[in-house]
Amino acid sequence: MRHLTIIVQKKSVSEGFLYDKDLDYLKKNVVPSTVPSWTLVDKKYLKELSRYGRAGKMGNYKFKGTSSHKPFSYLEKKNFKLVQDEFDSHMVFDIDDNPIPVGVYFDYIDAQMKNGTYNLKKAHKHLSKRKDIHELSDITEVEWYNRDTKCAEYLHFWWEPSVKAYRKMWKRCLELSDEYPSCRKHQAIFELDLLGLRKAGAALFDSFYGDYD
């Protein structure tokens, strides 16, 4: 767990998290500039998060929890979990720094799920049999402004990763990039073949970016 302390200021009856290194600020009655992004979330939220990620249906889900500056009475309820929610990286971690599964969206942009890098018919047939794939589209034409011969058609869908698969993915992300590991999710998924697309013979190349490498 990151070095954190739960703070209760009796005079203001306010509660929250603070990094241990910033405890001296309280003695000076100064609010530190960096506040941990820890929050309490409904476990139903985490289930939806693993299926649809942030961009999908999560925007319509009424989040039941409390941000880090509100009372911690929710901790007494077993259906809530304490997590660190890193919005910018689209990552969520538990108190031991383990990543909590967040649904991963695939399309022709970030995931290279297009005719220039995959046999889309084989990919669709394979993905349609997987229970962790949701909202799998038919083979779809790319918008005219992004279309070329190697990017004319694509598939889009959500992947609901298991805890084991997601942690494997994250470990590979960290190996691929120290600075922005969360931007390497699709590459890590491809290299580890977590969706089985390479084994199914759907990938046209042995590298994630295909002939753009």
Residue 12: pLDDT above 50? no
**How many other CB atoms are found less than 10 A from the CB of residue 57?**
13
Among 85, 100, 115, identify where a domain stops: 100
Q: What is the pLDDT of residue 130?
A: 98
Residue 32 in tokens: 């530190």
For the chain, how many residues are written?
Answer: 213
Band (26; pLDDT cuts 50, 70, 90) = low
Mean pLDDT of 140-146: 95
Q: 175 and 88, same structural domain?
A: no
For residue 202, which amino acid is it? A
Same domain assignment for residues 116 and 172:
yes
Of 60, 81, 100, which residue sits at a domain end? 100
Instruction: Give residue-wise pLDDT tens across range 191-205.
Output: 999 999 999 999 999
Q: pTM value?
A: 0.77
* Mean pLDDT for the chain overall: 79
pLDDT score of 30 = 63
Residue 197's domain spans which residues?
Answer: 104-212
Instruction: Provide the domain count of the chain.
Output: 2
For residues 184 and 145, membership in a common domain is answered with yes
Alpha-helix residue ranges (DSSP H) falling in the chain: 23-27, 43-52, 120-127, 163-176, 185-192
* Chain-centroid distance, C-alpha 40: 17
The residue-averaged pLDDT of 96-115 equals 93
Q: Count CB-CB contacts under 10 A for residue 147.
A: 15
CA distance 131 to 52: 14
Residue 78: predicted pLDDT: 60
Asked if 132 contacts 161 with a C-beta cutoff of 8 angstroms, the reply is yes
Per-residue pLDDT for 11 more than 90?
A: no
Separation of alpha carbons 124 and 118, rounded Å: 10
Mean of the pLDDT values across residues 161-165?
Answer: 97
- pLDDT at position 106: 96
Same domain, 142 and 177: yes
- Residue 134 and residue 49 share a domain: no
